[in-house]
Chain A
Amino acid sequence: MFWNGKNGKNGKNGGKSEGNGHHLIDLQGIRKVYDTGAVKVEALRGLDLAVRENEFLAIVGPSGSGKSTLMNIIGCLDTATEGSYRLRGEQVAGLSIDRLAEIRNKRVGFVFQNFNLLPQLTAFENVEMPLLFGGTPARQRRERVEFLFEQVGLSDRMLHRPVELSGGQMQRVAIARALACEPDIILADEPTGNLDTTSGRDIVGMFEDLWRKGHTLVLITHDPAIARRTRRVVNVQDGTVVSDEAVA
């Protein structure tokens, strides 16, 4: 039902993209070229990827393979040079800057390797921020933030500043922040990269719980141990998908 006559690359779709309409994320023929003036770097070369509702997948690949670029495009942090990206059926390419901001706000939750909490704000205010940007009224905001802190088990740390929290705690605050607006997807870019093994395992456990509760999660990682705990591993190399298999 979301055919796009203009898209000539339909025929090249990967094996998993039949039944377009049911896909949460549908990338077709995505190219991304960085033009640094002197050299043009092609980070993604006609990449196709489809993700259904309630999937838990890992994108793996060596550094420079284009997996971060892929995440930026999925998260609407960057736009593709060429190709079609539908998020729950809506074509994202060519949307206005503010509309993209709204999509990031309402439909995507980000978890970063280095947490990216704002240092001047308390943990509570960090989690509250997306709700503020989304225009949630004060009372509901407060209830929602308190609920989220309960979920991540940090109710006693709400008024601390990021510097007063451990790495694992910071990442849990970041997860609470990612969940604030009940997004369609949670995108995590090397979420355990800056954590010790124990905290890392906790965080991955948390992602599993979220998946069981019906969330869709996309993890970017180069750690095979973490990739194995997801349900599907997509291997990206040189800007294309080289393998895409379910985890047994």
Chain B
Amino acid sequence: MKALSLIVRLFRGAAKIQRKRMILTVTAIAWGTVAIILLLSFGEGLKRSLETSRRGLGESIVIIWMGETEKAFAGLPAGRPIRLVPDDVELVLEGVPELASASGEMHNWNVQLVNGRTALNKRVVGVHPAYRDLRTSYAQAGGRYIDELDQRLKRRVVFLGNELAKDLFGKDDPVGKTLLVADTPFTVIGVLQKKKQMSMYGGPDSDRATIPLSTFEAMFGRRYLSNLVYQPTSVAMAPVAKRHLMEVLGAKYRFDPADTRALYFWDTIEDAKMMNAIMIGIEMFLGMIGALTLIIGGVGVANIMFAAVTHRTREIGVQMALGARRVYITGSIVLESLALTFLGGIFGIGVGAGIVQALAAVQARAKSEAMEFLGAPTISIPIAVTTVTLLGLIGLAAGYFPARRAASVQPADALRFE
């Protein structure tokens, strides 16, 4: 402890001599730290923003559209269209144990919706109740989503997208009100919670009306699904689920399970993986730019430490003459370098955190879509750990070389130094 306080005392003495230079160096480190923190927290904000937008579509889901066979199978020619019906949802749920849930989906792109004097032509979809969790379509407080009973009883109930609800009902609460869907009175049971949705097919969920699939079938006389949405029991099981699903449907519709054109799959799990990889790439890139800026600060520290070592050559010689082992000489210099680096780092982290807070506040109020997409800059634990680790490494490196030089001098030469 005494040795440490002695080193600190020596450090203070040196600091007095080179105060101006030290302030500049500490500023350079602080600047680098601010840069790395800003870059990384913008990266983190973007990542989180992308993640929530991706969840707007649904978590780990796969969507199937109908296709045409490409391969001849069991005596049947290629080029047959494959059309799934609502009962196939039951079929795959029973036949494919790797499926957690599934829902059929039917679209009618142009249906007249009338509330009093407001009439709009909008998209109406019919779905199974499982659709709520698959496609993260949760109701705002006071409302609910379509349930099993609605489906079984072919109830005339409608769930509205939040934008659509605003267009039809203005500021009024639509829940419980009656809405004419293609001239048929429906009861509004819920309104979609606002969500960020980046991926979509056939338009955003906020701008459409949803009714039970059974009601849809009866009303519009449809037989075939537009598409089918399912979720495997786990991400790891996704490929197995897909293979089994092809086998089960292939057996029913008599197509080759290896026929990739019979059904089209949109695997959002694969998308998510790719997105993750891209995000890691972006974060690494941002981190690298930040690290480079910080390294420039480190060069400043190394420079001031070289100057300090030269300035104190004689003192170092005296310490050597008194029997200081190499570790005392190098240790005190490396410690000093670390102290300078972390001093700058503390300022930098403080200022960087302040800027991030301010920017996040600005971002939250900004109405622009680009800003919303960029997301609020966020400082996470890994960012803090990365920054501190980098500071430590740079401090060590900046101290190591001057320290090595100091310790490599013969004491006699050091004592002669003027």
Point out residues on A near B: beta carbons under 8 Å.
Answer: 72, 75, 77-79, 97-98, 101-106, 110, 112, 116, 118-121, 125, 129-130, 132-134, 138, 177, 181
Q: Is the C-beta of B364 less than 8 angstroms from some C-beta in chain A?
A: no
Contact partner of B415 (CB less than 8 A), chosen from A98, A101, A112, is A112
Which residues B305-344 have CB closer than 8 A to chain A? 314-315, 317-326, 328
Please tell me which one of the listed residues A72, A106, A119, A120 contacts residue B323 in the complex, with CB atoms under 8 A apart.
Answer: A106
Asked whether any CB of chain A lies closer than 8 Å to the CB of B277, the reply is no
Given A77-B415, A98-B326, A116-B415: A110 and B2 within 8 A (CB)?
Answer: no
Q: Of B12, B315, B410, B415, which one neighbours A118 at CB under 8 angstroms?
A: B315
* B-chain residues with CB within 8 Å of residue A181 when the two chains form the complex: 323
User: Does B3 make an interface contact (CB < 8 A)?
Assistant: yes
Q: Which of A77, A97, A177 contacts B412 (CB 8 A)?
A: A77
Q: Which 5 A-B pairs have the closest CB atoms?
A: A105-B323, A120-B13, A78-B412, A72-B412, A77-B412
Minimum CB distance partner of B320 in chain A: A101
For residues 393 through 418 of chain B, which have their beta carbon under 8 Å from a beta carbon of chain A? Answer: 407, 410-413, 415
Alpha-carbon distance between A170 and B18 when the two chains are bound, in angstroms: 26
Instruction: Decide yes or no: A138 and B2 within 8 Å by CB, A78-B412, A101-B320 being known contacts.
Output: yes
Q: Which of B318, B321, B326, B407 contacts A75 (CB 8 A)?
A: B321
Contacts of A98 in B (CB 8 A): 325-326
Total interface residues on B, using CB and 8 Å?
26
Q: Does B9 contact A (CB under 8 A)?
A: yes
Q: Which chain B residues have a beta carbon within 8 Å of chain A's beta carbons?
A: 2-3, 6, 9-10, 12-13, 314-315, 317-326, 328, 407, 410-413, 415
Q: Known interface pairs A120-B9, A125-B6, A138-B2. Does A133 touch B324 (Cβ–Cβ under 8 Å)?
A: yes
Inter-chain contacts of B6 with A (CB < 8 A)? 121, 125, 129, 132
Contact B328 A133 (CB under 8 A): yes
> Given that A97-B326, A116-B415 are known contacts, is A104 also in contact with B318, CB under 8 Å in the complex?
no
With A78-B412, A102-B325, A132-B2 already in contact, the answer to whether A121 and B318 are too (CB < 8 A) is: no
Minimal Cβ-Cβ distance residue in A for B9 = A120
Most chain A CB within 10 A, of B3, B328, B412, is at B412
Q: Please report the C-alpha to C-alpha distance between residue A72 and residue B410 in the assembled complex, in whole angstroms.
A: 10
A104–B324 CA distance with the chains assembled, in angstroms: 9
Give chain A's interface secondary structure class: helix
What are 24 A-B interface contacts by the 8 Å CB criterion? A72-B412, A77-B320, A77-B321, A77-B412, A77-B415, A78-B410, A79-B410, A97-B407, A98-B325, A98-B326, A101-B320, A102-B323, A104-B320, A104-B321, A105-B323, A110-B321, A118-B318, A121-B6, A121-B9, A132-B6, A133-B319, A133-B322, A138-B2, A177-B322
The answer to whether residues A132 and B326 also contact, given A116-B318, A120-B12, A121-B9 and a CB cut-off of 8 A, is no
Q: CA of A101 to CA of B12 in the docked complex: distance in angstroms?
A: 25
User: Which of A119, A129, A181 has its CB near the most chain B CB atoms (within 10 A)?
Assistant: A129
Q: Report B130 CB to chain A, min CB distance, Å.
A: 74
Q: How far is the CA of A112 from the CA of B9 in the complex (A)?
A: 23
Q: How many A-B residue pairs have CB under 8 A?
A: 73
Q: Which of B2, B12, B322 has the most CB of A within 10 A?
A: B322
**A177 contacts which chain B residues (CB < 8 A)?**
322
- Chain A residues, Cβ within 8 Å of B412: 72, 77-78
Whose C-beta in chain A lies nearest to the C-beta of B16? A120
Q: Which residue of B lies closest to A138 (CB)?
A: B2
Chain B residues, Cβ within 8 Å of A116: 314, 317-318, 321, 415
Q: Would B325 and A133 count as touching, CB distance under 8 A?
A: yes
In the complex, what's the smallest C-beta–C-beta distance from A54 to chain B, in angstroms?
A: 23
Q: Which residues of B contact A129 (CB under 8 A)?
A: 6, 319, 322
With contacts A116-B415, A133-B328 taken as known, whether A104 is within 8 angstroms of B322 at the C-beta atoms is yes
Chain A residues contacting B323 (CB-CB under 8 Å) are: 101-106, 130, 133-134, 181
Besides A77-B410, A133-B324, A133-B325, 7 other A-B contacts (C-beta < 8 A): A77-B412, A104-B322, A110-B322, A112-B415, A116-B415, A118-B10, A133-B322
Rounded to whole angstroms, the CA-CA distance of A132 and B3 in the bound complex is 7
Q: CA of A203 to CA of B407 in the docked complex: distance in angstroms?
A: 33
B10, A120: Cβ atoms closer than 8 Å: yes
CB distance from B15 to the nearest CB of A (A): 10
B11 to chain A, nearest CB (A): 9
Chain B residues in 8 Å Cβ range of A138:
2
Query: Could you say which residues of chain B place their CB within 8 Å of the CB of A106?
Result: 323
Also in contact, A101 and B314, with CB within 8 A (given A78-B412, A120-B10, A125-B6): no
Q: Output the least CB separation between A26 and chain B (Å).
A: 20
Whose C-beta in chain A lies nearest to the C-beta of B329?
A101
Q: How far is B227's CA from A152's CA once the two chains are assembled, in angstroms?
A: 100
Q: Are A101 and B326 in contact (CB under 8 A)?
A: yes
Say how far A178's CB is from chain B's closest CB, in angstroms. Answer: 9
Residues of B contacting A72 in the complex (Cβ-Cβ under 8 angstroms): 412
- Bound-complex Cα distance A110 to B321 (A): 7
Q: Report the minimum CB–CB distance from A32 to chain B (whole Å).
A: 10
* A97 CB contacts on chain B under 8 angstroms: 326, 407
